[in-house]
Structure 1
Amino acid sequence: MRFSLFFSFVIVVGIYSYNFSEAREPVCSKFAYEEQLLEKMIRTEIKVETMVNEIKKTENNVISTLGDIKQTVTDMFADMKGNITDEMLKRSDEIKRREESFKKLFEETRTNLTSDMEAKREELTQLQGKLERPPIAFHAHHVTNLVLDTSDEIVIFTKSVINEGTGYDTSTGIFTAPVGGLYQFDVHICALNGNYAFIGLLLEGKIIALDSSYAESYYTCSTFGAIVRVRSGEKVWVKSTSSASNRQLGQDSVRMNTFSGVLVNN
């Protein structure tokens, strides 16, 4: 469209130039006039065609140059996009690797902390249980049946001075451990004047300490005992280990038979 307008403008200018020059030239004849007019029109058409060709050539060069610039810019952006994409992918992979490493480290730390917390909680629970447990201790005296004429007879101390934890039974003479732990037991026995006393300390029917006394004089007594680990619910008692007519305990205002025990450590 632009070239058509331009071409029309050129023709009008040519015709105007021709008419102007024709007005100044002398008129010789009608034939000469027409011949000159035709020649000028031909020259003008040639010039216009040459100008049009030059304009088209220029336009093609401009279009080609613009195409080259566009392609260059496109290639440049494509390269930039490729480089940016590669860099972003590298960064993304690095972030993923760091994230996985962090997750692994966090999980290991959480597992270790959980394990440590469970161990500490168990220790605190055990410590709390120990603190909440009442002290275990008993001390009993006064034997009702002093005659030891029956073998394996349990010596029953019927009066309790202290019985923390209520482990000792004054009716049976048997101590039942309320809790497991390390216990110390002591037995104090006095034999009647002119008699013997053979006594044993037993844990669950097994002898853990023995003693024998003979009261040649009036005030003959002896003490024995043991430190032993006892499980919760196990039983400890004192018994006669030898029976005869001259086996008898003695007690009065100056002599006392006793049986005691205490939890040392659990």
Structure 2
Amino acid sequence: MGFSLLFSFVIVVGIYNCSEAREPVCSKFAYEEQLLEKMIRTEIKVETMVNEIKKTEENVISTLGDIKRAVADFTDMFADMKENITDEIERREESFKKLFEETRTNLTSDMEAKREELTQLQEKLERPPIVFHAHHVADKLLDKTDEIIIFTKSVINEGTGYDTSTGIFTAPVGGLYQFSVHTCAYIGKYALIGLVLEGKVIAADMNYDKYYHTCNTVAAIVRVRSGEKVWVKSTASGSVHQLLQNADAMNTFSGLLLNN
């Protein structure tokens, strides 16, 4: 009985002393309680850190989502810009090609026209002048109508268009020509002549005087195509039709290319 009371007193005093101590080391239960308290605080801190980490992770995930959306929007915008730029480049390229082709065609046409002009100018410069002058009629009797009057002596024949054997001038090139015919008639005789282009009379003259020899000149300016022929003929005939020819009265036929 007395031992039991003594043991109880010791336990009470020990508990009292342990509860009053600042650093209880005398009780296993107090140590475990402190350890448990520290573990709880640590667990609370860890839980708080975990919550902070989760919030940070959520923020990071949200931020990453925003970045992904921004990147997607930028990618779409860049794709649209790229497509628009590509279309604009293709449109400008097509417009440039068209303009280039038009310019090249115009330049080619202009160059061809200039080349043709230069060629024609060169041909004109290289081409000898077309001019002839012939005289001396072999047959002075005009006894046949439409007979060609042949001037057999050539003073000048640049371009070799006049033939002294036929009395016909053949145009070497087309152009504007001037022709003139000078004829003389005996006293009391007639000389009716015509200047002919391809069978058509383009100028005519008549010489006659009862008391004197007469001379007249007839001329024409006419456009002649290359290869066309010009000559002089008698437009009337008979015994009273005759040309006069001597040192003072020369019958002549001449022609000159004015412009082609």
TM-score tier after normalising by the smaller chain length: 0.7 to 0.9
Q: Secondary structure at the match of 1:53?
A: helix
Structure 2 match to 1:151: 145
What is the root-mean-square deviation of aligned Cα atoms in Å?
A: 2.7
In structure 2, the CA distance between the partners of 1:150 and 1:65, relative to structure 1 (3 Å rule), is: closer
Which range is displaced more, 43-52 or 57-66?
43-52
Instruction: Tell me how far 1:37 sits from its aligned partner.
Output: 5.8
Identity %: 59
Instruction: Tell me how far 1:119 sits from its aligned partner.
Output: 2.5
Deviations 1:174-223 (A, max 9, x none): 11111111111111111123322121211111111222212433432111
The residue type equivalent to 1:68 in the other structure is S
The residue type equivalent to 1:168 in the other structure is Y
Instruction: Tell me how far 1:171 sits from its aligned partner.
Output: 0.9
How does the TM-score come out when normalised to structure 2?
0.80
Instruction: Tell me how far 1:162 sits from its aligned partner.
Output: 0.7
In the alignment, does 2:52 pair up with 1:53? no
Structure 2 match to 1:98: 92
Separation in 2 of the partners of 1:134 and 1:148?
35
In structure 2, the CA distance between the partners of 1:95 and 1:212, relative to structure 1 (3 Å rule), is: same
Q: How does 1:191-202 map to 2 (within 5 A)?
A: 191-202=185-196
The residue type equivalent to 1:188 in the other structure is H
In the alignment, does 2:241 pair up with 1:247? yes
In the alignment, does 2:70 pair up with 1:76? yes
Separation in 2 of the partners of 1:243 and 1:174?
20
Q: How does 1:154-169 map to 2 (within 5 A)?
A: 154-169=148-163
- Unaligned 5+ segments in structure 1 are 1-20, 27-32
- Unaligned 5+ segments in structure 2 are 1-20
Q: Secondary structure at the match of 1:138?
A: strand
Deviations 1:26-61 (A, max 9, x none): 4xxxxxx56556655655554454444334333323
Q: Secondary structure at the match of 1:250?
A: coil
Deviations 1:40-98 (A, max 9, x none): 56555544544443343333233223222322333333333333443343333333333
Deviations 1:212-249 (A, max 9, x none): 21243343211112211111111111112222122211
In structure 2, the CA distance between the partners of 1:76 and 1:153, relative to structure 1 (3 Å rule), is: closer
Q: How does 1:6-85 map to 2 (within 5 A)?
A: 25-26=25-26, 39=33, 42-43=36-37, 45-85=39-79
Structure 2 match to 1:219: 213
Separation in 2 of the partners of 1:34 and 1:223?
164
In structure 2, the CA distance between the partners of 1:24 and 1:199, relative to structure 1 (3 Å rule), is: closer
Contact 2:25 2:31 in 1 (8 A): no
Q: How does 1:163-242 map to 2 (within 5 A)?
A: 163-242=157-236
Q: Secondary structure at the match of 1:207?
A: strand
In the alignment, does 2:127 pair up with 1:137? no
The residue type equivalent to 2:140 in the other structure is L
Separation in 2 of the partners of 1:35 and 1:142?
167
The residue type equivalent to 2:187 in the other structure is N
How does the TM-score come out when normalised to structure 1?
0.78
Q: Secondary structure at the match of 1:226?
A: strand
Deviations 1:141-189 (A, max 9, x none): 1111111122222111111111111111111111111111111111111
Separation in 2 of the partners of 1:25 and 1:50?
25
